[in-house]
A and B are shown apart, each in its own frame.
Chain A
Amino acid sequence: MQKIPTFRKGGIHPDDKKVLSNRQAIERLPVPAELIIPLSQHIGAPALPLKQKGDRVEAGEKIGQGASFISADIHSPVNGTVTALNKVTLANSVVSDAFVITPDTENPMGIWEERPYEAFSAAELQKIVKDLGIVGAGGATFPTHIKLTVPRGKTVDALVVNGVECEPYLTADHRLMLEHSEMVVRGVMLVARMTNPKKIIIGVENNKKDAIVALRKVIAEHDFPIVVTPLKVKYPQGDEKQLLKATIKREIPSGKLPLDVGAVVLNVATAFAIYEAVAYNKPLIERIVTVSGEAIATKRNLRVLIGTKVADLLAYAGLAEEAETYIAGGPMMGFAFYDDQTPIIKGTSGILAFTEEAHKQAPVSPCISCGRCIAACPMGLQPTKLYRLIDHRQYSEAMATNLMDCKECGCCAFVCPAHLPLVHAMKLGKRLGRK
């Protein structure tokens, strides 16, 4: 049998806990009583509001206009009324303006009809992706149209589609690939039309064998030029740098982008959103969210409207025990938050509720230089040294020790026997070091 590839340097093997929710078919959450739609759901400038308090909105109507080059449009998920324009704190602590929308009691959902899309040119497709507010669904929420606009003079060797979902607990992408394989694959082919790659790869970790089979089946039916590559399970393989190393054996130089090694990387959920946008003219107004964690009664994969409050998801799934920590995203890189009125945004892949036991916190003790963080760091950094520098407020020295290469994946802190807040320090050091 062929050797299953992965990336080489560093990485960890946490208990993936996917079995908690990976057999739960995607369910649609009923339309909630109120939606909170932040204007800042993406990396870059917040969108500018196009509606005011009291305005009527229609499902799919643009309500926020992307403000600059790196920004994205915002659309209303429902037919309804804007009842307020407030400030909200998102799970990642960003404070953003947000529409509060009350959906209509009758027929709140939009109707999306399929349209022929074979005739669209690459430029038209790119415009659709931009106009319908597509951003990266993996969590980084980078506006997708920028990624898909290949600059003049650059060529794309490989389109690598990210079906890795390496974060423990999360199964949203898994269920999506399994249940909507056809749409995912068609979305990938649309992306290929925009970027014109020489080869197309979908990388999927080997703990999702059924998804690999499902994708391959669809690809074979249509005879698409797509290769599904199974990858050995290892965190953080879903990061684009590790993914490219594992799939096409190329290493993105420090501070560079995938395009610099001739690659475009895109999440499966983004490909799915692109397909819906192109084939149904449907903006990014809903997404699949895994609701899991030891404190959740029935772990689920829910299709929810953007702007749905966490409280609605928790009420639907039920809390079995008192939760100590709520997390938006995965347990390795997600954000802890405290307010159940926090809305689901375009990049929220999961809502996790942990009991105290699952959370496993221990008091911090001194660093004993065991070097485990160095062995675990996929970027070849020295977390122990960076931590010491940041702790001593030597921020510029830390920057010179390649602090900016750190992507806060959390491998170092996961293995640290002294339980040092390493990622916390890296985030702090970056913020203060940039000044």
Chain B
Amino acid sequence: MEKPKIVVSSSPHIHEGSRTSSIMWNVSLALTPSALWGVYVFGFRALAILLISIASSLLVEFLLQRISHESTLSDGSAFLTGLLIGMNMPADAAFVVPIIASAFAIFVVKWTFGGLGANWINPALAGRVFVFFSFTGLMNTYRMPRTLAGVDTVGSASILTEIKLAVGSGTVQGLQSTEILEQSSYGHTQFAQSLSNWFTALFNRGPSPYTIDAFFGNVAGCIGEVSAFLLLLGGVYLLIKKIITWHIPVSFIATFSLLAWTFGGFRNGLGLFQGDFVLQIFSGGMILGAVFMATDMVTSPVTKKGMVIFGIGIGFFTFLLRYFGSLPESISLAIILMNIFVPTIDRYITPKRFGEVVKEAQS
């Protein structure tokens, strides 16, 4: 009689059932609401950009695995990289831009360093930064969202660019960011205005309509970064699924907020504790970066303590770059800067061993 096949392997013989691929696909799923919002407010061109970057990422991965004889397409990593690149593009980027970004991300940043798990910076971020500095003008021109199109607007600059330009011109000394935006007649939705009024009526103070628009995604920006609300929703999903922990997003945003609130008023002639950090948090790629980019497992520290240090570092660099750099947006650079420190953090921040320190017996 033929003996049945019996598997003999090392313990443990059970597993919780997680897979690398399920992590990747879940992150993609968590990004989807924000991406769909981008498609809604920026139109079909946004969808085209997203599809092109996903397709080109998958294609590059497919071609590379023909060389390395591996089957990595289904692990979801290339799809996620493509999706993130697409979400980091303005809707009006030339179609070649996401293709270049994807090729750079998958080929140079991921594959040449050894593939999944071996890259030292987030491929999607690297791809974005690469094209950002190659096509600076193109990458900084945003389309106004559909929800703002009817409003009288000055142009298609993002909130951060608008403020940066105004501060640079030196004419807005002593003004808060809301007043700066009002002065340059930057548009906001009627919905945001009424919600702001409602808050003000109820609590005597409330968020400016610009902050509310930034939170819900009625602002100019990259396809996938505008709706802080939907991105946070995705973040909550990842927290529940235990794919990310709170350590990096919270330490990042808390550090940035503290610095921006304390010193953020200086550049337009205000005193200490005058910075409008709330608008800053919900503008630009802050939430996308904090929840989805900085938490990339491969390029963040492995210990909880290391993650907090990593997050603090990103918050610090983001503050410096946003307030004192020449560019309005800087999340990607701040994250990449801290990516460089990850091996060092992991070397020196190690978990406390059981039995390392003998506690005095208490009886």
Whole-angstrom CA separation of A413 from B17 in the bound complex: 11
CA distance A248 to B363 in the complex (A): 8
A334 at interface (Cβ–Cβ under 8 A)? yes
Q: Which residues of B contact A367 (CB under 8 A)?
A: 117
Q: Is the CB of A371 within 8 A of B297?
A: yes
A253-B358 CB under 8 A given contacts A333-B12, A366-B117, A421-B10:
yes
Interface contact B75-A365, CB-CB below 8 Å: yes
- Tally A residues with Cβ within 8 Å of B: 72
Nearest opposing residue in chain B for A256, CB measure: B355
Q: Is the CB of B18 within 8 A of A417?
A: yes
Cα distance, A338 to B8, chains bound together (Å):
7
Cβ contact within 8 Å between B14 and A14: yes
Known contacts A354-B13, A382-B350; A336 and B298 CB within 8 A of each other: no
Residue of B with least CB distance to A353: B6
Do the beta carbons of B355 and A405 come within 8 Å of each other? Answer: yes
In this complex, what residue of A is CB-closest to B115? A366
Q: Which residues of B contact A327 (CB under 8 A)?
A: 13
Interface flag for A146 (CB, 8 Å): no
Quote the shortest CB–CB distance from B232 to chain A (angstroms): 22
Tell which of B59-67, B159-167, B300-308, B327-335 binds the partner.
B300-308
In the assembled complex, B174 has its CB within 8 A of some CB on chain A: no
What's the minimum C-beta distance from B77 to chain A, rounded to whole angstroms?
Answer: 8
User: Which of B12, B352, B362 lies in contact with A331, CB distance below 8 A?
Assistant: B12
- CB pair B354–A262 under 8 Å, yes or no, is no
Neighbouring A residues of B22 by C-beta, 8 Å: 417
Q: B202 on the interface (CB 8 Å rule)? A: no
A168 at the B interface (CB under 8 A)? yes
Chain A 145-169 per-residue mask, 1 if CB under 8 angstroms from chain B, else 0: 0000000000001100000000010
**Does A410 lie within 8 Å of B353, measured CB to CB?**
no
From 408 to 425 in chain A, residues with beta carbon under 8 angstroms from any chain B beta carbon are 408, 410, 413-419, 421, 423-424
Whether B361 lies near A254 (C-beta < 8 A) is no
Instruction: Tell me whether A380 and B354 are in contact (CB under 8 A).
Output: yes
Looking at B11, B19, B304, which has the most chain A CB atoms within 10 Å of its CB?
B11
* CB-CB contacts below 8 Å: A258-309 with B: 261-262
Q: Is the interface of B mostly helix, strand, loop or mixed?
A: loop
- Which listed segment binds B: A126-134, A217-225, A317-325? A317-325
Q: Tell whether A335 is near chain B: CB-to-CB under 8 Å.
A: yes
CB pair A253 B355 closer than 8 Å: yes
Residues of chain A within 8 A (CB-CB) of B5 are 324
- Knowing A365-B20, A369-B298, the reply to whether A251 touches B8 (Cβ < 8 A) is no
Is B48 interfacial (CB 8 A cutoff)?
A: no
In the complex, the answer to whether B20 meets A359 with C-beta atoms within 8 Å is: no
Which of B14, B358, B363 has its CB near the most chain A CB atoms (within 10 A)?
Answer: B14
C-alpha spacing A323/B8, complex, angstroms: 12
Residues of A within 8 A of B353 (CB): 254, 379-381, 402, 405
Q: Bound complex: CA of A358 vs CA of B13, how far in Å?
A: 9
Residue B351, interface by CB 8 Å: yes
Chain B residue nearest in CB terms to A383: B302
- A360 beta carbon closer than 8 Å to chain B: yes
Residue contact B356 to A380, C-beta cutoff 8 Å: yes
Take A322-B4, A334-B11, A366-B118 as given contacts and tell me if A360 and B352 are in contact as well, using a CB distance cutoff of 8 Å. no
Residue pair B20, A334 in contact (C-beta under 8 Å): no
Are B361 and A261 within 8 A (Cβ)? yes
Nearest B residue to A335, CB-CB: B11
Contact indicator B6/A359 (Cβ below 8 Å):
no
Q: A262-B361, A331-B13 are in contact. Are A369 and B302 (CB under 8 A)?
A: yes
Q: Are A417 and B13 in contact (CB under 8 A)?
A: no
Please measure, in the bound complex, the distance between the C-alpha atom of A249 and the C-alpha atom of B362, giving whole angstroms: 8
Query: B7 in the interface, Cβ–Cβ < 8 Å?
Result: yes
Shortest beta-carbon distance from A212 to chain B in Å: 23
**B residues less than 8 Å from A253 (CB atoms):** 355-356, 358
Cβ contact of A371, chosen from B13, B19, B301, B362, cutoff 8 A: B301
A415 to B5, CA, bound (A): 26
- Cα(A369)–Cα(B117), bound, Å: 7
List residues of chain B with CB within 8 A of the CB of A324.
5-7
B94 within 8 A of A: no
Measured CB to CB, the closest approach of chain A to B185, in angstroms, equals 47
Contacts of A168 in B (CB 8 A): 14
The answer for the CA separation of A154 and B137 in the assembled complex, in Å, is: 77
Shortest C-beta distance, B325 to chain A (Å), equals: 29
CB <8 Å contact, B351 and A374: yes
B152 within 8 A of A: no
Q: A157-B361, A325-B7, A380-B351 are in contact. List 6 more A-B contacts (CB 8 A).
A: A9-B352, A252-B355, A325-B9, A365-B21, A379-B355, A413-B15
Closest 6 CB pairs of A and B: A410-B12, A371-B302, A424-B10, A366-B117, A370-B297, A380-B353
A residues whose Cβ falls under 8 Å from a Cβ of B: 9, 12, 14, 157-158, 168, 198, 241, 245, 248-256, 261-262, 322-327, 331-338, 352, 354, 358-362, 365-371, 374-375, 377-382, 384, 402, 405, 408, 410, 413-419, 421, 423-424, 427
Identify 16 residue pairs between A and B in the complex whose beta-carbon atoms are under 8 Å apart, listed by A's number: A157-B361, A262-B361, A325-B8, A325-B9, A326-B6, A336-B8, A336-B11, A361-B15, A362-B19, A371-B301, A379-B353, A379-B355, A402-B353, A413-B15, A414-B14, A423-B12
